[in-house]
Structure 1
Amino acid sequence: MATAEPVAMGEDNFVVELNGVRDKIITKFSELIECLKAREDNLLKELDNIITLYGVYKDKLLRVKTKKEDLNRVGNFLEGSFHSSVKLMNDKYLKEIDLKLKSIEIPIEPSMVKFVCENNSLLAEINKFGQLVDKLNPVSACQSKIPSLVDVSENEKRIELFNPCGLTIDLKTGNIYVADYFHHYVRVFDSNGQHLFKFGDEGEGKMEYPRSVTSSGDRIFISQGTGLSHEGSDGILLYKLDGEFVCRIGTRGKGELEFNCPHGLAIDEASMDIYISDYNNNRIQILTKVFTFKSQFGSEALSCPHDIKLTRDYISVLDESDPCLHLFNYEYILIKSVVSLGIQFIPYYFCIDNFNNILLSDPNSNSVHIFSPQFEFIHKITVSNSPTGISVDNQSNLVVVYQADLSCRILFLKYL
């Protein structure tokens, strides 16, 4: 299938074409999954039968071995008795033992090779399983490269924000948490964009220039700081989902547990380690789940790390100054750097969607760029007035927050 030229989202033909391709792929994908599941079930049943038969065979073999050893032990004892008064009796017993040994039936080993090759049952299942996997992989890759995007800008929610930065979505409730940089607090909206409450604007948990937001369980982590000579404000703040303040983490500086304008945040849900883009210190700091320093990396490769995301294979770091997306493994070794991703723009925040596509907000060109997991350009969504924070929810809704003069709006893009 030829790749369609990127066009504006408002053109109906483009949307209709993509929706048609998507429906065909999803149908084929579902059919293959059902076939694959059926074949997998049959394969597992046959393997269970083999294991059961072999277990029965081993039990029988052990019983036969034990019985023969017992008879041979008695026979050896009788053969060792040469007293004339018992010799005739021993000979009689020895003959009986010999007959018993000959009558023991040796179990036949299950002919698994015959089962596989002659009956062809297991072999056929394995072949079909492999063939389906081969078919399934390109379908999955194709699906991940052709997302259907419908601009529903008529559903924009007007919100009074002042230079919003990062956002995160609580996947349990669907609530959206947006860092309002110049208002010095975080606003919370429901999944329809209705304002619920704000927090961080007073008391012990008062914020100063919040930048990025991420959630884990019932907790919200927020990075804050200007990067200027503003003592004491740079660090990480921890709140509960309802906005209750928990604690402050770190201070301004260059050492361990010290930050200079921290930006992106990411949580490893397995270890609960916290990854922080330490923007002006040109590094990634890692803290443990109890907020102690664990490690740092990237000082040689990074110049202005702005945002960070964790996947199964990589630690992905978006560097603002190059611009560049750096991929590190979990031993903190730089694996790959994708310079400019083939497009001339300055990325700000990014997210990874349910198809493993990479979506980057570009405030300078008023757009969101979408790339495949292989960093191939897929599409560009044009929005207005500098998109910043970006995320995807459980229903594959793409949520973008962006600036519009001194007020801002949250834009919902249906991402199917």
Structure 2
Amino acid sequence: IVQRPTALAIDSWRDNIIITCPGSGRIIVLDRKFKVVRKIRHQEMIAPQGVAFLQEHDEIYVTDKWKHCIFVFNHKGELVYRMCNKGYGESELCSPEGIAFHPERSVLYIADTGNNRIQILEKDGTYLDSIGPKNKSTKNTVKFRKTSSSVSQLNQPTDVAVTITRVVVADSGHHKVKIFNHDGQILQSIGGIGTAKGLFRSPEVLKIDNKGYIIVGDAGNGRVQIFSPEGKFLRILGVKKTQGYKFAWISGLLVTNNYDILVSDSKNNFVHLF
């Protein structure tokens, strides 16, 4: 059913699971028995990557990594509109991946991976702000927040999760998870490159559950790591090989209201439930 399954999201109106599959250029919608409800495809969409569901408007937002844009579909799979284009300026994207909405507002956060930043947009694509470094390629086009510390800089951020008080970023190129407030100030940096507990090799995806726990898809180490809301390491799921499966590349995470954890593996073409 799934070819290179990547991001996961919940249709909160129907309790369906939404999966992006860049291997087939499709979005697959499953019910809770993992039966296919709908396959969404559009002739212009090449590599659907990140996905987020906007409950207020009953819409599915999907980043396309190779089209450098965002497609918006209704729950029936019909295209509502497409927004953003390739570039380095405001509301422009370069190889975007993860995407998330603010929990209380229709404000969109995009891991603008190729531009080393998180862009913050209105739901229609209107630019609001960015979290990320100022560099030569963007200094004349993007108004970044002022920051005095390189610890806040991002290198190939691949995913973002948002709470009322925090913006949590998978800073994959630095092998860290970074936590910002909504003023763009760095609050905490977790991890660093390595294989020990609490360290990462290319943390690809992350989610925050309803209690504030941070769940990280540590793709290069083939495992999921769980941290407390304060950033303390707690436990590991899926170390190398468990019950006959082995994660090759963790490409998506989803935490349900029942605290089940779904993990997609784009290289093994499966979604596993913990």
Q: Which of the five TM-score ranges fits, normalised by the shorter chain?
A: 0.7 to 0.9
Identify unmatched segments of 5+ residues in structure 1.
1-159, 227-232
Q: How does 1:64-143 map to 2 (within 5 A)?
A: none
CA 1:290/1:162 → structure 2, altered by over 3 Å: closer, same or farther? closer
Q: 1 CA distance for matches of 2:100 and 2:34?
A: 24
Runs of 4+ more than 4 Å apart:
none
| 1:15-56 deviation per Cα after TM superposition (whole angstroms, max 9, x unaligned) | xxxxxxxxxxxxxxxxxxxxxxxxxxxxxxxxxxxxxxxxxx
> Cα offset for 1:321?
0.6
| 1:355-407 deviation per Cα after TM superposition (whole angstroms, max 9, x unaligned) | 321111123332211111122222111152322210111222211111454xx
Larger relative strand fraction: 2
Of 385-394 and 304-313, more deviation after overlay is shown by 385-394
Q: How does 1:168-179 map to 2 (within 5 A)?
A: 168-179=9-20
Q: Does 1:270 align with 2:126?
A: no
Of 252-261 and 282-291, more deviation after overlay is shown by 282-291
Q: 1 CA distance for matches of 2:267 and 2:34?
A: 17
Question: Paired residue for 1:313?
Answer: 165
User: Counterpart of 2:182 in 1: which secondary structure?
Assistant: coil
2:83 counterpart letter in structure 1: I
Please say if residues 187 and 197 of structure 1, whose CA atoms lie closer than 8 Å, have aligned partners that are also in contact. Answer: yes
User: Counterpart of 1:364 in 2: which secondary structure?
Assistant: helix
Identify unmatched segments of 5+ residues in structure 2.
135-152, 239-244
1:313 counterpart letter in structure 2: T
> Cα offset for 1:305?
1.1
1:377 counterpart letter in structure 2: F
Q: How does 1:341-360 map to 2 (within 5 A)?
A: 342-360=198-216
User: Counterpart of 1:349 in 2: which secondary structure?
Assistant: strand
> Cα offset for 1:271?
3.0
Q: Does 1:195 align with 2:51?
A: no
Q: Does 1:207 align with 2:49?
A: no
Q: Which has the larger radius of gyration?
A: 1
Percent identity, aligned pairs only, is 27
> Cα offset for 1:237?
0.7
Q: 1 CA distance for matches of 2:185 and 2:9?
A: 27
TM-score (norm 2): 0.83
TM-score (norm 1): 0.56
Please say if residues 362 and 388 of structure 1, whose CA atoms lie closer than 8 Å, have aligned partners that are also in contact. Answer: no
Please say if residues 85 and 92 of structure 2, whose CA atoms lie closer than 8 Å, have aligned partners that are also in contact. Answer: yes
User: Counterpart of 1:162 in 2: which secondary structure?
Assistant: coil
> Structure 2 residue aligned with 1:334, among 178, 186, 198?
186
| 1:181-228 deviation per Cα after TM superposition (whole angstroms, max 9, x unaligned) | 1211101111121122211244xxx311111001111011000123xx
Please say if residues 96 and 111 of structure 2, whose CA atoms lie closer than 8 Å, have aligned partners that are also in contact. Answer: yes
Q: Does 1:222 align with 2:85?
A: no
CA 1:342/1:398 → structure 2, altered by over 3 Å: closer, same or farther? closer
Question: Paired residue for 1:376?
Answer: 232
Please say if residues 322 and 339 of structure 1, whose CA atoms lie closer than 8 Å, have aligned partners that are also in contact. Answer: no
Q: Does 1:184 align with 2:28?
A: no
> Structure 1 residue aligned with 2:259, among 390, 393, 396?
396
Q: Does 1:361 align with 2:226?
A: no
Please say if residues 171 and 393 of structure 1, whose CA atoms lie closer than 8 Å, have aligned partners that are also in contact. Answer: no
> Structure 1 residue aligned with 2:175, among 303, 306, 323?
323
